[in-house]
Every structure is written in C-alpha cells, then in structure tokens.
Structure 1
Amino acid sequence: MDLAGKVAIITGGTGGLGVAVVERLANAGATVVAPFVKEDAFRSLAERIPAVIGLPLDLTDESATQAAYRTIATTHGGIDILINAAGGFAGGEPVHQTPWALWQVQLDINLKTAVISCAAAIPHLIARGGGAIVNVSSRTATQAGANLAAYAAAKRAVLQLTEALAAELRPHDITVNAVLPSVIDTPTNRSAMPKANHESWVKPEEIAAVIHFLVSPAARIISGAAIPVYGRA
C-alpha cells in the first residue's frame, strides 16, 4: 500500500484520530498536508511527524480553502487524497432542549468543513486522473441518536455526502468512502470517561490502517461504502 508520489490533505490532522492518520500516510510515503487552526497543536504534531506540512486555515472559510488547496496543488504538483477527519462532538440534551446554536456548530465543524474541502480538492483530483476521499462519520449516524441529535444529524449528512460524491466522481476514477468510529481510545476520551471500559475502544492507529487501505491502490474497486470501525465498542 505504497503511497509514494501521492499528495494527501488530512483535515483534523492535529486531533486524536488525525495524528494517527497523518503518521500512517506519511510512513507510507505520501506528502501529507495538515490544515490547522491552533499553532501549538500543529507544533506538537510536527515534533512527532517532522515530514508533515502545516497549513494555517479555517476550513469553514470557503474562499480561503479554495485558495489554500490551489496553492497546495501548485506547490506539490497536485492533490491525490483527501481525508476529512475534522470535526467535533457536542450534545447530551433532548432536541427540544438543544439550542439551534449547538446544531449550527455541529453542522459547521462536521459537515461544512467536509463539503468545502471536497469542493476545493475535487478539481485537483480530477486533474490528476483519479484519487481517493475518505470522510469520517460516526456510528451515531446510523442509530437513533437520542440526546445527540445535532451531532448525529451532522454525521448522517456526511454519509449522504459520501454517497452522492461516490456517484458523481465514479467516471473520474475517484473513490469516496466513509468510516464510522464509535468512541476512539484517545487521551481526551479517557479523561472525559474515566470509568468507561477503555479496553473495548478502538485505537486511532487501527482506524488509520483502514483509512490507509481505502486510499491505497488495493481499494480502487470500493466506493460509496460506510465502513464500521468500532470493533467491540
């Protein structure tokens, strides 16, 4: 699953899952670009993975993202891979007790960032003659989502985005798939849920391995899939 010569953009690359994906793809030989907002978070990422290329960017800013991805394509010869791992979780209340402001935040960070990044990257993938996109959805997207409706709705929309893009981009040899984690075994989640059974949680590196497969030549026949990656969680 060698990715030498490939240029990959990984949004959310400084997050608990994103770091593992950056490391996995960089070790496979890809040129990896990680957009970031917090400089200290990217500094920590770069200390662990010196080869990563940082890109200060607000992924909810459509024009800025378009311009940034054009610069990446010009500087590195194109874009082959997009991983939409940017996102975040909030919730815990019934729908009638959840203010629209929280819905908007969840839609912005989980759906809007993916839509804008896809729109900015796809012309460059087409120009390369093919490529791969992987969106990070959630197990919650396929369940009732009681008390988590805003998050669940945003992540379910990511699944619809994945299916639509897979159909639209099939003629261009661009695969589009989604992975559905549950609770990921990260320090942040352990801190938030200290009494949970951490042994059943999936490690970021395990999910990164699935994402690596999906963007590799070995998975060229897979597109439009929503793949559970929650193990025994």
Structure 2
Amino acid sequence: MSSVVVITGAAGALGKSIVTFFLDRGATVVAVDMNANVLQTAYGSNPKVKTVAVDLTNADKTEVALKDALSSLGPANVLCNIAGGFDMGPAVHETDDAMWRRLMDMNVATLINASRAVVPGMKTAGRGKIVNVAAASAVSGIGAMGAYCASKSAVARLTESMAQELRGYGINVNAVAPSILNTPTNRAAMPDADTNKWVALEDLSAVVGFLASDYAKAVHGAVLPVVGLS
C-alpha cells in the first residue's frame, strides 16, 4: 500500500492501532493529535510518520497545519477521522452549554475541520477515501447520553451527506459505528465486564482499512456497525 494516510486522534488507543495497520501495509502516515509530546513519544523515531500537533477544533490552525504537512507528500489518499470523545451526562434538559459544545467539538468539529483541510487535495487528485467514526449507541437516543448520541448521530448524517457530495470526484466517504472498544480506559471504567464481548482494536482497524481500500470502491455513505458480541 503506497499511500498517504492522515489519521486524527493518532495518540489515542484506537488511533495508534489504525496507524499501525496502515504502516504495516507500507503507507506514509500523517499522525494528528493535540499533544506534541505524546505524538513524539509514540512516533518520533519512525521515518514513515509525520506528526502534527494541532487543536482540531480550531478550523484555521487545522487547515494550516495539515496543508503544511501534506505540502511535501502530496494529496492524502486516505483520511481517517478518529479524533473524538465520550461523556455521560445528566438528562438533556439538565445538560449545560459547555457539555453540548464539548461533545460537538470533539466529535463533529474535528471531522469537519480535518475534512476541510484534506478534501480539496483529494478532489484535485480525483481520488480518496474518508472513514469517520460514528457509534453503535447513537442509532437512537439513550438516557444520560443525549449530547454524545446527538454528536455521533451528526457524524453519521455528515458521512451520508459527504458521500453524496464527493462520490462524483472519486472519493468514498463511509463510517464505522463501533460498540464498546477493548481499551485500557474502558477496562478501567468497567472492571467487571466481559471484555471478550467487546470490539478488539485490531478488528475495528481492519474494518477501517477495508473501507479505505479499493475493495470498498463501490461503497458510499455506509455507517457500518462493528459490535463484536456486545
């Protein structure tokens, strides 16, 4: 796989797994996250990884940083919008403005801003794959998760809209909708859970890799459940 892959949220557990997936297949990776030190620790010695530390909720800074990173590599073949986050919350009518903004910023603004920076190059090249991360739990509303469900539902709808807008340019836009991921954070939060039923990071990474490959060239606007046994 000789390609340039931009991966946001690259310092997180899922981001690292997806970076590894593409590196193992010969890609050059632009690894994007907020913390420069964490990125440097994870990838600084790898010549196939270009690290970009930027606040993806800031549209102007994101555009400058990603265009600068891609200036020497050419247009990205793949954009994986992995950056995001989860918070439980109170009831919808009790959720404060800060939580609404935080969840929409983490899960929606990051996607929009990264796409704004990367898609023009894909359109010029006449090809590209974009993979977003929705959530299985956001198919319908869940109590005490209103802000999260709303933000991940927005990811699904944006995926469908982008797919219709970009498929004529040779760009596929799809999303994965995972259930609980087997990460250190989730294991610590739910120590009594049966983790064998959760989705392994390498399994979700493989699905992302499929959607980013030519095997999925006929797939546009899918929001693919990846739920394991959960």
| Deviation readout 1:23-48 (Å, 9 max, x if unpaired) | 00111111101112123321342179
Distance 1:49 1:96, change over 3 A: farther
Q: CA separation in 1, counterparts of 2:124 and 2:144?
A: 43
Q: Which residue of 2 aligns with 1:57?
A: 54
Distance 1:18 1:103, change over 3 A: same
The answer (yes or no) to whether the contact 1:79–1:124 under 8 Å persists in 2 is yes
* 2:14 maps to amino acid: L
Q: Which residue of 2 aligns with 1:230?
A: 227
The answer (yes or no) to whether the contact 1:72–1:79 under 8 Å persists in 2 is no
The answer (yes or no) to whether the contact 2:91–2:143 under 8 Å persists in 1 is yes
Q: CA separation in 2, counterparts of 1:148 and 1:141?
A: 9
Note the C-alpha offset of 1:143.
2.3
How many equivalent pairs are there? 230
Q: CA separation in 2, counterparts of 1:99 and 1:81?
A: 36
Unaligned runs of 5+ in 2: none
Q: CA separation in 1, counterparts of 2:110 and 2:21?
A: 22
Is 1:20 the counterpart of 2:17? The answer is yes
Q: 2:162 aligns with which of 148, 165, 178?
A: 165
Unaligned runs of 5+ in 1: none
Is 1:134 the counterpart of 2:131? The answer is yes
**Which SS does the other structure have where 2:106 is aligned?**
helix
* Mean CA deviation greater in 42-51 or 130-139: 42-51
Q: Which residue of 1 aligns with 2:182?
A: 185
* Superposition pairs of residues 62-211 of structure 1, within 5 angstroms: 62-211=59-208
| Deviation readout 1:79-104 (Å, 9 max, x if unpaired) | 11100000010123211222121111
* 2:170 maps to amino acid: D
> TM-score w.r.t. structure 1 length?
0.94
**Which SS does the other structure have where 1:76 is aligned?**
coil
Q: CA separation in 2, counterparts of 1:39 and 1:194?
A: 31
> TM-score w.r.t. structure 2 length?
0.96
- Following superposition, which runs of at least 4 residues in structure 1 exceed 4 angstroms of deviation? 47-50
Q: 2:6 aligns with which of 5, 9, 30?
A: 9
